Amino acid sequence: MHRRDLLLRSASTALAALPGTHARAADQAAAFAPPAALAPIRARPDRIIDVSVCTRPFRAQGPRIEAERRFGKTIVHNYGHGGSGWSLSWGAAMFALPLLLATRERHIAIVGCGAIGLTMARVAQRAGLRVHIYCKERPPEVRSSAATGMWSPESRLCTLEHATPAFAQQWEAMARSSFKAFQRLLGLPGDPIGWHDGYTLSDIPFDQPLPGNGHSNDEPEYPDLEARIRDLRPRSVVLAPHEHPFRVPHARRYTQMTFNLAAYSRLLLDEFMRDGGEIEQRDFVHLRQFAGLKERTIVNATGYGARALLGDHSIIPVRGQTARLVPQPEVSYGLIYRGHNVVVVPRRDGLLVQAQGERDFGNHNTEPDRGLSEAAVERLGRLFAA
């Protein structure tokens, strides 16, 4: 699967239902649902309140979750989750936990306080372990805090050739246990986890590929893992023109799980501290500095940082940039404007607008390119122009 496909897919893989299913669902929608009355998005560049960039820690072979003995200690690696780190965080931690428990140590260290380190810490605490986190940054400074915040467990996770049946099976188990964990976090104050509806809009029929569809860039082929967990996603619905307010010829409605990352990170941190966790600021320049830690079992959850720390060049940065517009609580729907490189996620800390750059794969530049986000907001604004 290529890059532009991926943008559409990762934002709404709920779109994957069969055409016949769409038609049936559309009949139901026509029978029972009135046309949606949607608050317009006030999409103007002067309403951008933040532009952030982070790099996805992509590995062709997928995340590294394994233990090794070094410096007389056990190091459990849990890094390299590409564009799926938040989505797979609980499942990845469930896979790493037996490696921790096998050491029989009751006090462990976790290096890293992003999506993976924090969730690993919570899973370890729930298993009765005492956890000390060491990290250079904590939320909201970590790269994880600059993510989009969507359930996208197959996004830039591995290359097609590495998606063996065994890998796919492990991925499915991780995705399913993560999904279950997130459903238990619904309905909490601040909506750390939520669901919303969204609309995929298109100038051409959905079964027609976009011109130059994704073949003009250097991203690898990604596997189509999504089919294995289709039952976890509400099906998307094709809408007739009178069933939506947008002036585009083709529209679908999807339903998407979202992470409100500010509230969710705060929740994880608060619960970690409440259960006796400790966090210490520390920047490790060499892996051998792990030898100086008092804990004998250490989780390495340094994400993209593992590339420098371990000299692990299997980690490839995939740059991603998002902008936030002034929050509009009345806008509770997402948008994907197919072929126009715009995705909107209705987060509580602002309407998140994502657009891809021309050369994101292998790009470690974390300097914001405001022009890219302004152009995306302009394109979005045209949908709501009088």
Ligand X SMILES: Cc1cc2nc3c(=O)[nH]c(=O)nc-3n(C[C@H](O)[C@H](O)[C@H](O)COP(=O)(O)OP(=O)(O)OC[C@H]3O[C@@H](n4cnc5c(N)ncnc54)[C@H](O)[C@@H]3O)c2cc1C
What is the nearest approach in angstroms of ligand X to the Cβ of residue 111? 6
> Pick from 301, 352, 380, 383: which binds ligand X (CB under 6 A)?
301
Provide the mask over 22-51, with x wherever binding to ligand X is found by CB under 6 A and - wherever it is not: ------------------------------
Site residues for ligand X, 144-173, by CB under 6 A, read: 144, 147-150, 152
Give the interface segment with ligand X, choosing from 1-9, 15-23, 34-42, 78-86 (CB under 6 A).
78-86
The site for ligand X, by CB under 6 A, has a size of: 41
Q: Which is nearer to ligand X, 297 or 322 (CB)?
A: 322
Query: Cα(368)–Cα(339) distance, rounded to whole angstroms?
Result: 23
What is the nearest approach in angstroms of ligand X to the Cβ of residue 258? 8
Decide: is 79 part of the binding site for ligand X (CB under 6 A).
yes
Give the interface segment with ligand X, choosing from 23-31, 43-51, 76-84, 331-339 (CB under 6 A).
76-84
Provide the mask over 104-143, with x wherever binding to ligand X is found by CB under 6 A and - wherever it is not: -------xxxxxxx-----------------xxx----xx
> Pick from 74, 297, 302, 356: which binds ligand X (CB under 6 A)?
302
Q: Which is nearer to ligand X, 216 or 281 (CB)?
A: 281
Tell which residue, 327, 319, 313, has the closest CA to residue 55.
319
Give the interface segment with ligand X, choosing from 14-22, 66-74, 92-100, 299-307 (CB under 6 A).
299-307
Decide: is 175 part of the binding site for ligand X (CB under 6 A).
no
Decide: is 87 part of the binding site for ligand X (CB under 6 A).
yes
Decide: is 84 part of the binding site for ligand X (CB under 6 A).
yes
Site residues for ligand X, 212-271, by CB under 6 A, read: none
Q: Which is nearer to ligand X, 122 or 143 (CB)?
A: 143
What is the nearest approach in angstroms of ligand X to the Cβ of residue 33? 27
Burial of 384 per CB tally in 10 Å (0-12, 13-18, 19+): middle
3-state SS, one letter per residue, for the chain: CCHHHHHHHHHCHHHHCCHHHHHHHHHHHHHHCCCCCCCCCCCCHHHEEEEEEEEEEEECCCCEEEEEEECCEEEEEEECCHHHHHHHHHHHHHHHHHHHHCCCCCEEEEECCCHHHHHHHHHHHHCCCEEEEEECCCCCCCHHHHCCCECCCCCCCCCHHHCCHHHHHHHHHHHHHHHHHHHCCECCCCCCEEEEEEEEEECCCCCCCCCCCCCCCCCCCCCCCHHHHHHHCCCCEEECHHHCCCCCCEEEEEEEEEECHHHHHHHHHHHHHHCCCEEEECCCCCHHHHHHCCCCEEEECCHHHHHHHHCCCCEEEEEEEEEEECCCCCCCCEEEECCCCEEEEEECCEEEEEECCCCCECCCCCCCCHHHHHHHHHHHHHHCCC
> Pick from 13, 17, 57, 158: which binds ligand X (CB under 6 A)?
57
For residue 298, the cross-strand partners are: 75, 109
Question: Could you tell me whether strands 315-325 and 48-59 are parallel, antiparallel, or unpaired per DSSP bridges?
Answer: antiparallel
Tell which residue, 101, 129, 96, has the closest CA to residue 300.
96
Decide: is 56 part of the binding site for ligand X (CB under 6 A).
yes
Decide: is 75 part of the binding site for ligand X (CB under 6 A).
no
Q: Which is nearer to ligand X, 137 or 172 (CB)?
A: 137
Site residues for ligand X, 316-345, by CB under 6 A, read: 320, 322
What is the nearest approach in angstroms of ligand X to the Cβ of residue 322? 5
- Give the distance, in angstroms, between the CA of residue 243 and the centroid of all CA atoms in the same chain: 30
Q: Which is nearer to ligand X, 282 or 379 (CB)?
A: 282
What is the nearest approach in angstroms of ligand X to the Cβ of residue 119? 8
What is the nearest approach in angstroms of ligand X to the Cβ of residue 116? 4
**Dihedral angle, C-alpha 241, 207, 321, 353, nearest 10 °:** 10
Give the interface segment with ligand X, choosing from 80-88, 197-205, 232-240, 290-298 (CB under 6 A).
80-88
> Pick from 81, 244, 250, 347: which binds ligand X (CB under 6 A)?
81
Residues 6+ apart with CB under 8 A from 245: 35, 36, 37, 38
What is the nearest approach in angstroms of ligand X to the Cβ of residue 91? 11
The contact set with ligand X (CB under 6 A) reads: 54-57, 79, 81-87, 111-117, 135-137, 142-144, 147-150, 152, 282-284, 301-305, 309, 320, 322
